[in-house]
Amino acid sequence: MLEVKDIYFHYEKQKQDYRYDFSLGKGEIIAISGVSGAGKSTLLDLIAGFLMPNKGEINLNDQDILSLPPEKRPVSILFQNDNLFEHLSVNKNIALGVLGNENSNENQAAISNALKDVGLENFGNQLASKLSGGQKQRVALARTLLRNRPILLLDEPFTGLDEKTAKDMQALLKKLVKQHKWHAIIVTHNKYDANAMGAKNYVMKNAILQS
């Protein structure tokens, strides 16, 4: 269980407090919507460790994660773009920070399997810059698969994708979250994204997260 308990946060030059309080079970997805600047992405930064709350707790299976630095948190992130290093191959991008040496037989097999799971077998040697927007998101998802961290944070991952690619990605994500029992939080402007993924809907209103 991921518990975000009574979190308060405010930016240095702002008086307003952003407030978050919710919990999320394994294999569950919540979708957060709200206007620009409402504090949706702030929540992801707080869970990922890029921001520290002024008050409150974040626990995963009763273990505190706030004390951990970003690189040690049990978190994978997927942004709208810039998830990959464009000058590296798909294989290298997936292995980065996940596997020691991507050339060993064992790791090669793991990368191939992850690529197969996201429908991109045979793309391993391609440069990331040569991929389409949807393919890049899938490669980032393949890396997430290999990292297999229990919390998945998605910051508007479908923005900029065409309708069919977005639908395919939503179906794939829904399947992988259930299969790997991840706790997934998706920030989106679009309620259809949330419904397509079977997510619980939350909205940021007056700087408070409301169901």
Interface with another protein (CB under 8 A): 48-50, 70-73, 75-77, 79-83, 85, 87-88, 96-98, 147
**Least distance (Å) from another protein to the CB of residue 79?**
4
Strand, coil or helix: 7: strand
Spatial strand order of the sheet with 183-187 comes to 63-64, 55-60, 2-9, 18-24, 208-210, 200-205, 29-33, 183-187, 151-155, 75-78
Q: Which is nearer to another protein, 131 or 196 (CB)?
A: 131
**Least distance (Å) from another protein to the CB of residue 191?**
24
Q: Which is nearer to another protein, 80 or 108 (CB)?
A: 80
- The sign of the CA dihedral 167, 168, 173, 179 is positive
**Least distance (Å) from another protein to the CB of residue 149?**
9
Q: Which is nearer to another protein, 95 or 196 (CB)?
A: 95
**Least distance (Å) from another protein to the CB of residue 205?**
26
CA distance 49 to 68: 8
Q: Which is nearer to another protein, 37 or 198 (CB)?
A: 37
Looking only at the bridges linking them, the beta strands covering 75-78 and 200-205 are unpaired
